[in-house]
A and B are shown apart, each in its own frame.
Chain A
Amino acid sequence: MSTTTLDAQTPTSGRPSAPNAAAPRPTKRPFPLVRHSLALAKRSLIKTWRTPEALIDVTLQPIIFLVIFVYIFGGAVAGGTQEYLQFLLPGILAQTIAQGAIAIGVNLNTDLEKGIFDRFRSLPIPRSAPLVGAVSGDVVRYVIVTVSTFAIGYIMGFRITTDPLSAVAGCLLAILFALCLSWVSVFVGMKVRTSGAVQGIMFLVIMPLSFASNVFVPTSSLPSWMQTFVAWNPLTHLVASMRGLFLGTPLGNHVWWTLAWCVGLVVVFMPLALRAYRKKV
């Protein structure tokens, strides 16, 4: 075969056009971080949709906790199951949604082991986009927690005594808090070697926050040294805000405290997480 015929040769295998023939190059568009993060958030959603078993923790845990605590401790703590359910549900929602934030660190830690992040990092997109996208995609998990907690709560007899708008605001506040707390989880996920360790460390963070708070019992029953911790605990403020918004208890400054914590968590842990991600080889 001569060179000329080789040059004129079209793909012999019957494949259509060549895979990489020159074509117009992609053009730059504005707001890359937002657009790329959204595209990557969609990736998280597809993954969640494909592996619904990964949602078992956040859907079943509030149900189990509500049933156990209401019927076992209700009588002793609040003098009646119905009263205790009203008191407990906002707390359980806050606790579960905070625990839901553990998953993102665990998932990202496993993701980094696979090659997919190499792919992202070799693309001309903002380096933080895969993380921001993954965190935003988790909103869906938090919505599912919220809905399943309310569903079982309603079946058991929980009732919102304020108005729907306040109730929605309460839920949004919880979801916002979880998103901000996610950055702690992401940071740990970037720093620690194994996903099991991420789980362990985050559990050690969330556990004291859940119990040394107003989630299960009124804080007045706690020893005074612990009350200091409880007064600073972000979950205390989140739960007090939700009780106010769901049940009309006094709101005080709790919403502001919660928002301040949200800002604080993001300001501190988002840059740390992004830095750890960039350094990760």
Chain B
Amino acid sequence: MTTDLVIEAEGLIKHFGETKALQGVDLSVARGTVLGVLGPNGAGKTTAVRILSTLLTPDGGHARVGGFDVVKDAERVRQTIGLTGQYASVDEDLTGRQNLQLIGVLLDLGKANARTRAAELLEWFDLTEAADRPAKTYSGGMRRRLDLAASLVGRPDVIFLDEPTTGLDPSKREDMWNVVRSLVDDGSTVLLTTQYLEEADALADEITVIDHGRVIAHDTPDGLKRIVGGQTLEVRPSDVSRLEETATILRQVSDGRTEEIRKGVLAVPVSDDQAMTATVARLAAAGIAVTELSLHLPSLDEVFFTLTGRTASEDDTTTTKEVAA
């Protein structure tokens, strides 16, 4: 049985002097799906994306995108892909419209088509009003949208999104997620890197976790959550004196350990989708008012702690720095 793999990388190795950015990374993404590449700063995510998008040549291993080798057939790969980097790669002195038209002309759309395509994307990304202002006047969120629009000018089959929401505030992040979802609805294949399990969970069909240039886990979001222990329910009763009673209720809905993670906030691991409603019902029955009640996916730190036995940020200062330049 063969699956239609649009991105396949095997044993990618890349060193920058002493820094071993990638030490044999395998990645595969099936057509029309989203792969989330999850890892902390310096894990090698950006390096992997730069190799797959032909900006870097690997020191070892090989990769094919859209059926073309990223080294031998780099030109063909470039016709297939759209790349949105970690740092918005738009020309700040050009207007949004000029940026998109330039890309269109460079992609040989022809002047008229480049103009139409630019207008279409500006409208789609809610940038029409700002279209004729230099990009340097744009807010961070607008710049990201323009950057993403720029990578879509050529209607690429494969889209690389390198930390598309880093630095965006939560509401803007949600917008970006919706954009990614509609890209996939249109049939695009997406590889996105992220530092947030929440983001990978929201968007990806499969998740590859990278650490220190190595793949340490590959699974579906559900599979990964099973490994790292699902979600955490956090409750803050309005009346601190009822903390004990609240803890008793939480013990009834979960068999995990109840902890007071911050002053007056209890947390308990839950694996069951019903836990939230059950908790709400029991709290209401006991007449306990709460000021905070939320479900959290494990943070990247927790994922890493489970997978590697240490936290992701622990060694940030001592070892690799993400090679982004």
Binding site for B on A (CB under 8 A): 11, 13, 15-23, 25-29, 32, 35-36, 39-40, 42-43, 46-47, 50-51, 113-125, 129, 281
Contact = CB atoms under 8 A, between A and B. Distances in A.
Contacts of A43: 91, 94, 98, 102
Contacts of A15: 123-124
Nearest to A129: B106
A43 B103 CA distance: 11
Contact of A19 (B103, B147, B154, B186): B186
A76 B182 CA distance: 76
B233 interface: no
Interface class of chain B by DSSP:
mixed
Given A16-B123, A18-B185, A51 B87 contact: no
A17 B159 CA distance: 18
A50 B87 contact: no
Contacts of A27: 108
Contacts of B147: 115
Interface residues of B, number: 55
A137 B81 CA distance: 28
Interface of B: 16, 50, 53-56, 75-76, 78-79, 81-83, 85, 87-94, 98, 102-103, 105-109, 120-121, 123-125, 134, 147, 149-152, 154-156, 159, 178-179, 182-183, 185-188, 323, 325
B90 A19 contact: no
B55 A122 contact: yes
A18 B179 CA distance: 9
Contacts of A117: 89
Contacts of B89: 114-119
A118 B124 contact: no
A18 B93 contact: no
A240 B156 CA distance: 55
Given A36-B106, A116-B91, A122-B54, A19 B85 contact: no
A165 B152 CA distance: 49
Given A21-B186, A39-B106, A121-B55, 12 more contacts: A13-B178, A17-B120, A19-B182, A21-B155, A25-B155, A114-B92, A118-B85, A119-B85, A122-B53, A122-B54, A122-B83, A123-B106
Nearest to B53: A122
B311 to A, nearest CB: 29
A20 B108 contact: no
Contacts of A122: 53-55, 78, 81-83
A116 B106 CA distance: 13
16 contacts: A13-B178, A15-B124, A17-B124, A18-B182, A20-B159, A20-B182, A21-B186, A26-B79, A26-B108, A39-B105, A47-B93, A114-B89, A115-B85, A121-B54, A121-B55, A123-B154
Contacts of A32: 108
A43 B100 CA distance: 12
A181 to B, nearest CB: 24
Nearest to A123: B106
Contacts of B54: 121-122
Contacts, number: 123
Contacts of A23: 155
B155 A28 contact: no
A121 B83 CA distance: 10
Contacts of B185: 18
7 tightest A-B CB contacts, nearest first: A115-B89, A124-B78, A119-B89, A122-B83, A47-B93, A26-B108, A124-B79
Contacts of A16: 120, 123-124
Contacts of B186: 18-22
A118 B46 CA distance: 12
The interface centre, meaning the residue of B85, B94, B106, B159 with most chain A CB atoms within 10 A of its CB, is B106
A51 B136 CA distance: 12
Nearest to B117: A23
B98 A22 contact: no
Contacts of A18: 182, 185-186
Contact of A123 (B76, B78, B178): B78
Contacts of B121: 19
The interface centre, meaning the residue of A22, A26, A29, A122 with most chain B CB atoms within 10 A of its CB, is A122
Contacts of B150: 119
Contacts of A118: 50, 55, 83, 85, 89
A219 to B, nearest CB: 43
Nearest to A29: B108
A124 B94 contact: no
B108 A46 contact: no
A114 B87 contact: yes
A281 B108 contact: no
A18 B186 CA distance: 7
B81 A26 contact: no
Contact of A281 (B56, B125, B178): B56
B90 A116 contact: yes
A116 B150 CA distance: 11
Contacts of B105: 35-36, 39
A53 B79 CA distance: 38
B124 A46 contact: no
Nearest to A280: B325
Given A19-B121, A20-B155, A123-B78, A47 B94 contact: yes
B63 to A, nearest CB: 15
A20 B155 CA distance: 5
